[in-house]
Amino acid sequence: MKRTRGFSLIEVMIAIMVLLVGISGVTHALWWATQHEKEGSRMSEATNHARVVLERIIPTGVIAQGVPAGGWPTDASGLHDDPTERRPLYSGPPNVLAGLGAHLNATDTSQFSRNIRVERLSADTDSHEYTLAVITVRVFWNEQGHERSVELQTVVPHGIAP
């Protein structure tokens, strides 16, 4: 009996199945990467907005401005937001943020909101930490029906008397 060269039908079918599994895996990986690239882009943008807000608050001394004598920033100051409060990203209070995002033509800042909280590092008046404040800036946005957020914190001297 003479043997012919070539592949049998079963060998060809197995090869096609292996190729289909490989191609579907690559397709799924590309789809997943595309979806998560958008999420990563928004997270990077939100982190940058939080950084801009922090950088605007720290050097202006806004923490000590408008604080009642012997007091601490109130809710109306925009520096002691309730954790559930969401304010427009670049609007006052504090007034140093008003109009800050006007130069950002490429991005839609309306999809982001912010929450700023300034607290003393320590309540103990005898501690050196009493003269330090923790500034927490959270930036929020909605993505696929879920609220997402990033948070940046820094510690700065505040100069507010007890």
Q: 115-146: per-residue pLDDT in tens?
A: 999 888 888 888 888 888 899 999 999 988 99
Task: Give the type of residue at 134.
Answer: V
For the cut 60, the answer to whether the pLDDT of residue 105 exceeds it is: no
Q: 139-162: per-residue pLDDT in tens?
A: 999 988 999 999 999 998 876 665
DSSP letter at 43 equals: H
- Cβ-contact 113, 86 below 8 angstroms: yes
Ranges 3-7, 13-17, 54-58: which has the least confidence? 3-7
- Cβ-contact 116, 75 below 8 angstroms: no
- Cβ-contact 113, 150 below 8 angstroms: no
Q: What percentage of the chain reaches a pLDDT higher than 90?
A: 36
Q: The tokens of 126 are what? A: 């005898």
Report how far residue 160's alpha carbon sits from residue 89's, in angstroms, rounded to the nearest whole number. 26
Q: 10-29: per-residue pLDDT in tens?
A: 999 999 999 999 999 999 99
What's the pTM value of the predicted model, to 2 decimals?
Answer: 0.74
The residues pairing with 5 across neighbouring beta strands, listed in sequence order, are none
* Predicted local distance difference test score (pLDDT) of residue 106: 52
Q: How confident is residue 56, by pLDDT bands cut at 50, 70 and 90?
A: confident
Q: What percentage of the chain reaches a pLDDT higher than 70?
A: 85
Estimate to the nearest angstrom the gap between the alpha carbon of 78 and the chain centroid.
19
